[in-house]
Structure 1
């Protein structure tokens, strides 16, 4: 800064000294004339540099910084260094952005950046194919104007995105997408789509295969079981070894029948064409039925209790809810030692959800198993499952029934202290006492 001021004052000082000398030697008029011309030249130089600076400001990206004269030399030199540094930073940022876009474009997933109001800011080619977008034309458009499926619009409107959305028929009937939404920043969201059409076809083939095989096994198993029961009832059968063999055959045949029946039930629940049959469910009556069935299964070895604390009617499928409630009670009995307690409860949560829960004082479940309990054939203790006759499909069936009723299956357990399995139904499924009409 001191150098700048030194150079700023040197010209007017020298000019003043020349003017003083002229004043002494030639008089005031020549001195004033020379001083005026000198100051005018300096002023003109500033105007010329200022004009050059103004022209550069009008188009700084293509024009180079002026060289300047006088005091402007240093200013333009510093400005030139700053401009070069900024240009280099912009080039680096542009290169990084281009690299990111190229990397994102190479992903098999579709990626859409949504700004405020879910307006499209950018999308990669896969997203263009998945949603029918145009990366140039549709920037700034709300994505719900272009992708209008009700499930997709509802998914965007909710606040919880823990579970991905499976969307069918976005572009055509064969396309199946798995969609995940991730919030970031203050008002931005990242929409990620994945084509799972092939996986869906494989899953459909698996379900069809399981359903067909289970159906074909049902009849021969029934025949075999009938013959075994007939032979067991024959009075001429006195050989103890033969009786034990027939008893073992009967037990294993019944176990296979239960497994086939559960597989058929699960296949029916997974079938999208199987529409839920809505009817009015008298929950206390259903719970009483399940309670009596549990007492028969327990054979007096457990204390079963019923608690009904809130509205008693629900819209849903009586047969499916009977199966779900019964499975939970059966599991509680199987995994609760004799003398333990089991409580069936129906109550309303503060948020309006209606909850059916089964709480037991059984052996409990270790934390590492909780997330996998609803998987098909997953067993915490395989030997105990074989002893109790479990198929490993009960909780998978319960989960699918809950999903068909827009309900949530929740599991809380502590090893050695017992477990609580609950199904939380949305408030819209509750039927008020004064309105006997089920929702559609």
Structure 2
């Protein structure tokens, strides 16, 4: 480029020099220079007109004839334009290929703009969702999919978990909606037909519920006879008495497993909408603390309450009690005697959290992702000794899901564990008289319980 411009500047200097010589001979240097510059400007305007006409024409049209710097510029513009056209065509081919491949998917793919209007969808979306092309293009997604549960899911913008609903085209089809936000608040919605998986899951739930229910009657009969044997243990041989005691212990454990399975089945198959209550968390936590102290007994755990929130939880009190009890009782069972256990209820910017914290042996981080699985145990031997069923945390998870909440587990070996239940704002309620109350007024019970410096350090 430097060589081209240098030649052009040299050409201009030669023209000016020639004009100066002609003007000196004719006796009018100024007029000669002006005349030459006017001619040069006229040629430049002609080339600009040709450039304008060429740019308005077809991109494949060859550049107009020119010389000097203008020829160089025309050629450069032509090559840039051609390269841009090739890149554009390549992008069009890629987009077309993506659309064709997406159109061949069995799952529905729907693109939604930042205003919530439909931009594009594949053939499966027309079959599963009833979208019509091109009539529905530009329509709001919530105007076409009017199920209140879908509208609430779409507006909440919390797409961490998928939504499962019946198809608007066929009630026998079960669809799973998964939305991803990208770009400038645009959304990509994937919809899968999970009817077969839903039926298999329903069969599993029915099987567990039916088997658990059917086992209750024979187990009750067995327990009755074992209690009778226990009443007459003094008349039985010593070996029979020890065997009867072990059978009673295992029978009670089996009864607990059945009760937990039935509770899980109920959590999975019933609707919580008819069980809405305003739960006073301070009263519920204090009641659970009293039960935990009885369970601790001679272990003398130091169980503290840190209440920093006036909010009530909207939901099922029995289910919330079951979830919190499982967390607190687990802390009592699996921490050494005289350990500190803190039940903390506090307000956050996104809602409220209930935390059960202990200073026990902790849990290896590799176990944390699977703790809420059914029958998963970190230490099977210790769980059997404490009478655990392996279903407690699974119950906690399902209760929280039913209350639109979630659980976080944080633990380190030899540093204790924290189980945090996060409740969203729409699951909380404040009494009018407590709306402007200071947070510090909600924590006198903690100061009464913390009677030593060691307890204060444990709380921190």
| TM-score of the aligned structures, taking structure 1 as reference length | 0.79
Aligned 8 A contact 2:301 2:332 in 1: no
More divergent stretch after superposition (399-408 vs 348-357)? 348-357
Aligned 8 A contact 2:335 2:359 in 1: yes
Question: For residues 244-293 of structure 1, what are the alpha-carbon distances to aligned partners after superposition, in whole Å with 9 as ceiling and x for unaligned?
Answer: 22122111111111111100000001114464412343433333332222
Which aligned pairs between 1:28-427 and structure 2 lie closer than 5 A? 60=58, 64-65=61-62, 84-235=82-233, 237-273=235-271, 275-307=273-305, 308-311=307-310, 313-345=312-344, 347-351=345-349, 353-427=351-425
Shift in Å at residue 230 of structure 1?
A: 0.9
Aligned 8 A contact 2:279 2:313 in 1: yes
Secondary structure at the residue paired with 1:118? coil
Unmatched tracts of structure 1, length 5 or more: 9-38, 436-440
Aligned 8 A contact 2:302 2:338 in 1: no
The structure whose residues are more often helix, as a share, is 2
Q: 1: CA distance between counterparts of 2:417 and 2:237?
A: 45
Aligned to 2:36: none
Secondary structure at the residue paired with 1:299? helix
Q: Aligned pair count?
A: 417
Aligned 8 A contact 1:314 1:431 in 2: no
CA RMSD of aligned residues (A): 4.0
Q: 2: CA distance between counterparts of 1:423 and 1:70?
A: 77
Q: 1: CA distance between counterparts of 2:393 and 2:74?
A: 76
Q: 1: CA distance between counterparts of 2:422 and 2:52?
A: 70
Unmatched tracts of structure 2, length 5 or more: 13-38, 435-460
Shift in Å at residue 50 of structure 1?
A: 9.1
Q: 2: CA distance between counterparts of 1:271 and 1:152?
A: 19
Q: 1: CA distance between counterparts of 2:124 and 2:171?
A: 18
Residues 1:266 and 1:276: Cα distance change in structure 2 (over 3 Å): farther
More divergent stretch after superposition (250-259 vs 173-182)? 173-182
Shift in Å at residue 223 of structure 1?
A: 0.7
Residues 1:197 and 1:272: Cα distance change in structure 2 (over 3 Å): farther
Aligned to 1:14: none
Residues 1:335 and 1:235: Cα distance change in structure 2 (over 3 Å): closer
Secondary structure at the residue paired with 2:227? helix
Which one has the largest radius of gyration?
A: 1
Residues 1:303 and 1:185: Cα distance change in structure 2 (over 3 Å): same
Aligned 8 A contact 1:328 1:421 in 2: yes
Aligned 8 A contact 1:115 1:121 in 2: yes
